[in-house]
Amino acid sequence: MKHLVALCALLIPPVLAEAGEPIATGDLGLVVERASGSVLIIDRSDHGAVGRVEGLGDLSHASLTYSPDERFAYVFGRDGGLSKVDMLQQEAVARTVQAGNSIGGAISDDGKLVAVSNYEPGGVKVFDADTLNLVADIPAAGKTIGLVDIPGRRFVWTVWDTGEVFLGDFSGEAPVITALGNAGANPFDAVVTDDAHTYLVGLFGEKGVTAFDLWAEKPGPRKFLTDYGKTGEDMPVYKMPHLQGWAFTEGQYALPAVGRHELLWVDRESLKQVAATPVHGQPVFVIAQPASPFVWVNFATPLNDTVQVVDSRSHEVVATLTPGKAILHMEFAPRGAEVWISSRDDNKVLIYDTRRREKVAEIDAQAPSGIFFTARAHQPGL
Amino acid sequence: MKHLVALCALLIPPVLAEAGEPIATGDLGLVVERASGSVLIIDRSDHGAVGRVEGLGDLSHASLTYSPDERFAYVFGRDGGLSKVDMLQQEAVARTVQAGNSIGGAISDDGKLVAVSNYEPGGVKVFDADTLNLVADIPAAGKTIGLVDIPGRRFVWTVWDTGEVFLGDFSGEAPVITALGNAGANPFDAVVTDDAHTYLVGLFGEKGVTAFDLWAEKPGPRKFLTDYGKTGEDMPVYKMPHLQGWAFTEGQYALPAVGRHELLWVDRESLKQVAATPVHGQPVFVIAQPASPFVWVNFATPLNDTVQVVDSRSHEVVATLTPGKAILHMEFAPRGAEVWISSRDDNKVLIYDTRRREKVAEIDAQAPSGIFFTARAHQPGL
CATH number at residue B231: 2.40.10.480
In this complex, do A196 and B292 lie within 8 Å of one another by their Cβ atoms?
A: yes
Model pLDDT, residue A94: 96
pLDDT of A5 higher than 80: no
Q: Work out the average pLDDT over B346-366.
A: 97
Looking at the partner chain, which of B22, B290, B354 has a beta carbon nearest the beta carbon of A380? B290
pLDDT, tens digit (0-9, with 9 covering 90-100), for B101-121: 888 999 999 999 999 999 888
User: Nearest residue of B to residue A375 by CA position?
Assistant: B378
**Residue B140 maps to a domain:** no
The CA distance from A56 to A39, in Å, is 8
Q: Do B24 and A88 count as a contact with CB atoms less than 8 A apart? A: yes
Q: What residues contact A233, with CB distance under 8 A and at least 6 apart?
A: none
Question: Residue B141 in 3-state DSSP?
Answer: coil
Which span out of A235-249, B20-34, B345-359 was modeled with the highest average pLDDT? Answer: B345-359
- Measured between alpha carbons, how far apart are the two ends of chain A, in Å? 34
Mutate to test the interface with B, among A154, A335, A357 (most CBs of B within 10 A): A335
Q: Is B331 on the interface with A (CB under 8 A)?
A: no
Please tell me the distance in Å from B130's CA to the nearest CA on chain A: 12
Chain B residues closer than 8 Å to A111 by CB: 45
Q: What pLDDT, on the 0 to 100 scale, is given for residue A72? A: 98
pLDDT of res. B1? 36
Asked if B151 lies within 8 A of A293 by C-beta distance, the reply is no
At residue B218, does pLDDT exceed 50? yes
- Going by the DSSP 8-state scheme, the letter that residue A85 receives in this structure is E
Residues of B in contact with A113 (CB under 8 A): none
In a domain, A309, yes or no: yes
Closest residue to B215, CB basis, from A44, A268, A293: A293
Could you give the CA distance from residue B286 to residue B279 in angstroms, rounded to a whole number?
11
**What is the reported pLDDT for B249?**
73
Evaluate whether B353 touches A126 at the Cβ level (below 8 Å). Answer: no
Which structural domain, as residue segments, surrounds residue A242? 227-322
CB contact under 8 A, A336 and B380: yes
**Identity at A382, one-letter amino acid code:** L
Inter-chain CB pairs, A–B, below 8 Å: 171
Q: A56-70, A165-179, A240-254, B236-250 — which is least confidently predicted?
A: B236-250
Asked if B69 and A151 come within 8 Å (Cβ–Cβ), the reply is no
pLDDT at A2 over 50: no
Average pLDDT, chain B: 90
pLDDT of B349 higher than 90: yes
Which residue among A151, A249, A290 sits closest to B337, beta carbon to beta carbon? A151
Q: A156 Cβ partners below 8 Å, 6+ apart?
A: A146, A147, A148, A150, A165, A166, A167, A168, A180, A190, A192, A199, A212, A214
Residues in A 143-182 with any Cβ partner in B closer than 8 A: 149-153, 171
Q: Which of residues 25-64 of A touch B (CB under 8 A)?
A: 25-27, 44-45
CB contact under 8 A, A380 and B26: no
Interface of A with B in 278-307 (CB under 8 A): 290-293
B109 neighbourhood in chain A, CB within 8 Å:
291, 333, 335-337
Across the interface, whether the CB atoms of A152 and B378 are under 8 A apart is answered no
What pLDDT digit, counting tens, does each position of A114-131 carry?
Answer: 999 998 889 999 999 999
A44-103 tens-digit pLDDT: 999 999 999 999 999 998 999 999 999 999 999 989 999 999 999 999 999 999 887 888
What confidence score (pLDDT) does residue A233 get?
Answer: 55
Is pLDDT at A352 greater than 70 in this prediction? yes
A2, exposed or middle or buried, with CB in 10 Å at 0-12, 13-18, 19+?
A: exposed
Residue B260 lies in a domain: yes
Q: Give residue A20's pLDDT.
A: 59
Q: Express each pLDDT in A156-201 by its tens digit.
A: 999 999 999 999 999 999 999 999 999 999 998 999 998 899 999 9
Alpha helix ranges (H) inside chain A: 2-11
Residue B284 counted as domain residue:
yes
The Cα of B139 is separated from the nearest Cα of chain A by a number of Å equal to 27
pLDDT value, residue B380: 87
- Tell me what pLDDT residue A248 has: 74
Dihedral angle sign, alpha carbons of residues B183, B330, A380, B378: positive
Residue of B nearest to A338 (CA): B110
Residues 6+ apart with CB under 8 A from A341: A307, A323, A324, A327, A329, A330, A349, A350, A351, A352, A371
Is B36 a domain residue? no
Q: Phi-psi category of A46—alpha, beta or left, where left has phi over 0 and alpha has psi -120 to 50?
A: alpha
Query: What is the pLDDT, as a whole number, of residue B366?
Result: 97
Residue A192 forms part of a structural domain = no
Structural domain count of chain A: 1
What chain B residue is nearest to A333 in terms of C-alpha separation? B378
Query: Of the candidates A159, A133, A135, A162, which has an alpha carbon nearest to the alpha carbon of residue A147?
Result: A159
User: Do A337 and B110 lie within an 8 Å CB cutoff?
Assistant: yes
**Residue B293 domain-assigned?**
yes
pLDDT at A228: 72
Contacts of A292 in chain B (CB under 8 A): 151, 195-196, 215
Q: Which of A268-272, A317-321, B308-312 has the lowest mean pLDDT?
A: A268-272
Q: Tell whether A216 is covered by a domain.
A: no
**Which residues on chain A are in Cβ contact (under 8 Å) with B374?**
26
> Closest partner residue to B45 among A69, A197, A335, by Cβ?
A69
Which contacts of B305-310 are long-range, i.e. CB under 8 A and separated by 24 or more positions? B306/B280, B306/B281, B307/B341, B308/B279, B308/B280, B309/B357, B310/B254, B310/B263, B310/B277, B310/B279
- The pLDDT value recorded for residue B14 is 42
Looking at every residue in chain A, the average pLDDT score rounds to 90
Provide the pLDDT confidence category of residue B17 given band limits of 50, 70 and 90: very low
